[in-house]
Amino acid sequence: MPWPTRKRGGLDAHEKTSLGKGVFRKCDGCGETLTAEALHETFEVCPQCGQHHKLSAARWRDLILDDGKLEVWDAGLEPTDPLSFADGKPYPDRVAASQRSSKAKEAIEIGAGSINGVRVAYGAFLFSFMGGSMGSVVGEKVTRLFERGAAQRLPVVLLQASGGARMQEGILSLMQMAKTVAARERLRDAGVPFVSVLLHPTTGGVAASFAFLGDVNVAEPGALIGFAGPRVIETTIRQKLPEGFQRSEFLLDHGMIDRITSRLEMKQELGLLLGHLVLTTPLRARSSRRLPEVDD
């Protein structure tokens, strides 16, 4: 499960916004030329056609969390090189380069924050860090997110954007899928909700582990979401894939997600959802009924 290689220009939305005023950008959807400033204000959603461009984790915080405030957990976790892996560049060098350009230690941030007054355990993938790929650190942090959600009874809201398991940590990356899902099941047992938010793109090992196991799964419009990447499928079946294949709308049609929600309405919808799931008075659990005693 590879992380997609960067195409076209190589800058992500976050870096582009730092270029300042007067810089123009072309919308990936309608091709309209827009100022970087205007796109920044609309959280990278095209005001003309509604195309959702990638949004940095920092901007997601601003958008979703009350006052943009996140009490960050475990920011210091860093990967090692368990396989002594090199692909042109040694893995530690690749990590160091990603750390420099993204100013983060790894491809996810987790912590506590509030959404419309509801305190949540919050996580967001950084796609700009090696394609949001899941190695040991991402696996560990997602696991801790679920574990703390269960322990502190905080609903978990996790924003995913990932190419899948990180090849450079090999089989240990695969093991993170089992580890994170097991933790997700502990959250389920604790009766604490998990809202899974699928962003562009969510594929491979992240899609095939916790991403679809939300109590509610919400996706952004037009996001690529699936198990295998489109190129892998095309090579396997030797035919071109239909327009819109593996996009959010396709997933909604096939019953895989609950809702498609525009980024600009995401906070409001998450607030509504959490209101229903958390701020409600639960009915008395009905499991108190005893089985009849059996005589020996």
Q: Which residues bind other proteins (CB under 8 A)?
A: 1-2, 74, 76-83, 85-88, 105, 135-137, 139-140, 143, 165, 167, 169-179, 181-186, 204-205, 207-213, 225-228, 232-233, 236-237, 241, 245-246, 250, 254-256
Closer residue to other proteins (CB): 64 or 192: 192
* DSSP state, residue 7: -
Q: In degrees rounded to 5, what are phi and psi of residue 73? A: -105, 140
Closer residue to other proteins (CB): 90 or 275: 90
- For residues 155 and 194, the answer to whether their CB atoms sit within 8 Å is yes
Closer residue to other proteins (CB): 40 or 148: 148
Give CA angle at 115 (144, 139), nearest 5°.
20
Q: What are 230's two structure tokens?
A: 């489109």
- Minimum distance from CB of 180 to other proteins (Å)? 9
- Minimum distance from CB of 246 to other proteins (Å)? 6
- Minimum distance from CB of 233 to other proteins (Å)? 5
Closer residue to other proteins (CB): 124 or 172: 172
**Half-sphere exposure (CA, 13 Å, Cβ side) for 145?**
34
- Minimum distance from CB of 31 to other proteins (Å)? 28
**Half-sphere exposure (CA, 13 Å, Cβ side) for 264?**
13
Closer residue to other proteins (CB): 69 or 89: 89
- For residues 95 and 77, the answer to whether their CB atoms sit within 8 Å is no
- Minimum distance from CB of 42 to other proteins (Å)? 30
* DSSP state, residue 292: P
Task: Give Cα 45 distance to the centre of its chain.
Answer: 18
Dihedral (Cα; 54, 60, 63, 67), 10-degree rounding: -160
Closer residue to other proteins (CB): 155 or 205: 205
Neighbouring CB atoms inside 10 A of 277's CB total 16
Closer residue to other proteins (CB): 171 or 294: 171
Q: What is the CA radius of gyration of the chain?
A: 20
CA pair distance 135, 206, nearest whole angstrom = 10
- Minimum distance from CB of 176 to other proteins (Å)? 6
- Minimum distance from CB of 155 to other proteins (Å)? 18
- Minimum distance from CB of 139 to other proteins (Å)? 6
Provide the terminal-to-terminal Cα distance of the chain, rounded to the nearest Å: 56
**Half-sphere exposure (CA, 13 Å, Cβ side) for 284?**
3
User: 173: helix, coil or strand?
Assistant: helix
Closer residue to other proteins (CB): 17 or 136: 136
Q: Letter for the amino acid at 276?
A: H
